[in-house]
Amino acid sequence: MATSLARSSYDTITHLLGIRPLFSTPIKLQPESRILTLPAELRLEIYGWLFEFGGSVVALRALALVATCRLIHQEAQRLAFEKIKFLIATAENGLDYHKRMMTLGPVSMHLRHIHINTSISALEPCGGRNPFLLMKLALDDLTIDFGPITSKSWKDDTVCWNNFMSAFLHSSHSASKPRSIQDHIVPRIKRHLALTTWTFAPTRDDLYNTLLRCEAKVVQVKVNKNPDSDMLWFAFRKFNLIDGAVMTVKAPMASGGGTSKERRAGLTFYDTQTSTVMSIERLQIVPETTETPVI
């Protein structure tokens, strides 16, 4: 039973990704293994304890468990993705998150905790090197820390604001259905042309669409506090996307049983001792009120 389930899961993933299976032989149960002779429920308890125990160093060592054998890999990878907090520190050229998510396939939906340390200069405003793409995942928490941001002129500031907002608003809003500019060449070309000619002008509808389509429960974007410039705040104010430091967005959503519900999201700006923070929170879905929708 365990073999067939593991094999089925592996075949499903390879089929969805359109790649040739790495293995062509069935997964063996390995009855000589002490841990694999334990009941499956007990093995899962052990895996979960290993992934939860200790700090990041212990967590990295625990990840070696999923490389032990194919059966343990199939049993433990979901728990590993759900319980371990992944710390990603990228170089100046960044990381192609779009390709990484495609490589992981449906397994990426089990990720829950991600912390990214990167540079604002590594952002691709129209490409896959964009950590905001991870907002599509059902994460419990996503932290993106850009660290210090320095500029030498008003032109540097403008380019920084444009690139940041383009990366953050990574969906092309339309009256019918929003489309990701990473997945469709026409919206990507239009966005690139607008950025190149300095005609990029996102609207509040673009912002509302991004907030309401965020699947992560909490997203925190941080930059080092700078008394002379608040990049996050000024980027939003430049395009007149916000009026204050706190915003709540709500929109009706389809639901069964004749019950109307609405989806809500919150956007907040605040300072800590060392950082300026932009926080997005996916609020609980609640029954729709009779009030006029407020943005």
Q: What is the pLDDT along the chain (295 residues), one digit of tens a residue?
A: 334 444 444 454 444 444 445 556 666 767 777 888 888 899 888 888 888 755 555 556 667 788 788 888 888 888 888 888 888 887 666 778 888 887 888 888 889 999 999 988 888 888 888 999 999 999 999 999 998 887 778 888 889 999 999 999 987 655 455 567 777 788 888 899 999 999 999 999 999 999 988 999 999 999 998 877 788 999 999 999 999 999 998 887 665 555 567 888 999 999 999 999 999 998 866 665 544 444 4
CA atoms within 13 A on the CB side of 83: 22
Q: What is the pLDDT of residue 145?
A: 94
Burial annotation 34-73 (CB, 10 A radius, 16+ → b, else e): eebeeeeeebeeebeebbeeeeeeebeebbebbeebbbbb
Q: Are 236 and 267 in contact (CB under 8 A)?
A: no
Q: How far apart are CA 181 and CA 171, in angstroms?
A: 6
Q: What is the pLDDT of residue 187?
A: 82
Q: What is the pLDDT of residue 78?
A: 86
Structure tokens at 120: 């604002």
Cα 229 to its chain centre, rounded Å, is 27
What is the value of pTM for the model shown?
Answer: 0.79
Q: What is the pLDDT of residue 173?
A: 58
Q: What is the pLDDT of residue 10?
A: 46
Q: What is the pLDDT of residue 53?
A: 57
Instruction: Determine the length of the chain.
Output: 295
Q: How far apart are CA 136 and CA 112, in angstroms?
A: 12
Q: What is the pLDDT of residue 32?
A: 75
Q: What is the pLDDT of residue 70?
A: 82
Q: What is the CA radius of gyration of the chain?
A: 22
The DSSP code sequence of 80-126 is: HHHHPEEEEE--TT---HHHHHHHHGGGGGG--EEEEE--GGG--SS
